[in-house]
Amino acid sequence: MTDAVPSRPVRGRVAKQIRSLETRASISAAAVTVIAERGISGVTHRLVAERAGVPLAATTYYYESKFDILAEAANASMQLYAAAFAKAAARYRANEGDVDSFRDFAFRLIRNAAGVHKAGTIAWAEIALDAVRHPESLVLARNWSAHINALWTSIAEALGARDARAVARSGIDTVAGLLFMTIALGLSEAELASIFECGGDPVQIWSAPRQIGAYEAGSSEKLGRKTQATRRRIVDAAIDILIIDGPAAVNFRQIAKRAGLTAAAPAYHFKSVEDLLRVAQERLFGESKERYRRAVAAPGQRGGDLEQLADLTSVVFLREATEFGRQNLATFAIWLEAARRPELRPLVCDAIIDQCRAWRRLLDPLSTSPRPVNGLLAEAMFAGKLVRILSTGAATSDLISVRREFAQDLTSLADGGFWALQS
């Protein structure tokens, strides 16, 4: 911003404009920090002003509501993202970039999410999931999606991809899924490199430090019917809040109010909010796993070829994106909360690893070069596509292309490609 100040004396109005731009930039950056630390529901004018180092009156002067702050933060992030990608594409076209393939470019984004861009990645994920909660945010999310696709396509073209549009779309979905996993599990750059650079097995490397036994898995089987019913009401209320307001809004007071219980009831049945969120995640994953199991076990669905696998995957996906979209929003919300609460990671990790194993069981018999990473990439591609379609409102134009996209991506994985049609 200071580079914009001319060397000659300036009039008061120009100086004021410069100060205004700097103040707005400070507020926007502070909002990203607060979103990463506390979630969108934790954003307040007072907290953002405090982090930005500006008077409270400054945030209320420039932004009428916190949603205006969020929109500004989202737009500012997109502008920085677009500028960085435009420069990268220009370097690659001039053969001045320091990556050799679209795979290398994608891995750099994932690695940065575990390091220098961790806060920004968490904030992006929060904003993406929040878009579906507000009609005005859906417009922003759709614009984001179209713009990101154009940026990625330009990068793929600069790196010489045969079908840049298909490569960009596949890369966006897979990287989005991997970004959610990276922040949810608190993966380090070394853990990512061990998989994507050294060919390690994520089932072994990622799950070892996040064993499911790291938390006390409770059982409600021995509880009385009345107690089980009350616990279920509490978990139902927590999931509703996750869907409507996000994980940062989940607290015992709000849960009791939504469930129609006394203020003390949630704390009586669950020792902490983290304990409650673990039970919610366990239920959501159990229900999701059962839906997948029934689909795969249906008559005529076992065995087959890649075309049949694409058919099956598409049917499962479309149900998850529409009929069970709310439940998946709650699941991803818990993943984001795990980024801030490490005690949630063992169960989230167990759910992710279980899905990776399931994908390998389906893909390995159909692959010319089975590799440990294939199950992870398939799960990341599925999860990232689900995030993209949920966050943009499940438009018909997106849903009708799902089957074709899965056919491309699954065939690429089976043939040994890292991203669909990347080379």
Q: What integer pLDDT is reported at residue 49 of this predicted model?
A: 93
Distance CA 164, CA 185 (A): 31
Q: What integer pLDDT is reported at residue 109 of this predicted model?
A: 87
Q: Find where tokens 């991203």 sit.
A: 419
**Cβ neighbours of residue 374 closer than 8 Å, sequence gap 6 or more:** 359, 360, 363, 364, 367, 413, 414
235 within 8 A of 243, measured Cβ to Cβ: no
Tokens of 68: 């205006």
Q: Is the pLDDT of residue 422 over 50?
A: no
Q: Is the pLDDT of residue 295 over 90?
A: no
Tokens of 349: 């990790």
Comparison of pLDDT for 231 and 87, the residue scoring more? 231
User: In this structure, what are the phi and psi dihedrals at residue 361, rounded to the nearest 5 degrees?
Assistant: -65, -35
- Summarize pLDDT for 40-72 with one digit per residue, the tens: 888 899 999 999 999 999 888 888 888 888 888
- Summarize pLDDT for 380-399 with one digit per residue, the tens: 999 999 999 998 887 777 88
- % the chain with pLDDT above 70: 87
Q: What does the pLDDT average to over 249-273?
A: 92
Name the pLDDT band for 254 (thresholds 50, 70, 90): very high
Q: What integer pLDDT is reported at residue 324 of this predicted model?
A: 93
Q: pTM for this structure?
A: 0.85
Q: What is the Cα 205 distance to its own chain's centre?
A: 21
242 within 8 A of 334, measured Cβ to Cβ: yes
Q: Is the pLDDT of residue 306 over 70?
A: yes
Q: Is the pLDDT of residue 420 over 50?
A: no
Q: What integer pLDDT is reported at residue 9 of this predicted model?
A: 39
Comparison of pLDDT for 260 and 246, the residue scoring more? 260
Distance CA 81, CA 86 (A): 9
User: For residue 289, with 0-12 CB atoms within 10 Å meaning exposed, 13-18 middle and 19 or more buried, which class applies?
Assistant: middle
Range scoring the smallest mean pLDDT among 39-48, 119-128, 157-166, 410-419: 410-419
Q: What does the pLDDT average to over 275-287?
A: 89
Contacts made by residues 295-299, CB under 8 angstroms, sequence distance 24+: 296/362
Q: What integer pLDDT is reported at residue 268 of this predicted model?
A: 92
Average pLDDT along the chain: 83
Question: For residues 129-167, b (16+ Cβ closer than 10 Å) or e, as one string?
Answer: bbbbeeeebbebbbebbeebbebbbbbbbbbebeebebb
Q: Is the pLDDT of residue 296 over 80?
A: no
373 within 8 A of 196, measured Cβ to Cβ: yes
- % the chain with pLDDT above 90: 35
Q: What is the Cα 251 distance to its own chain's centre?
A: 22
194 within 8 A of 207, measured Cβ to Cβ: no
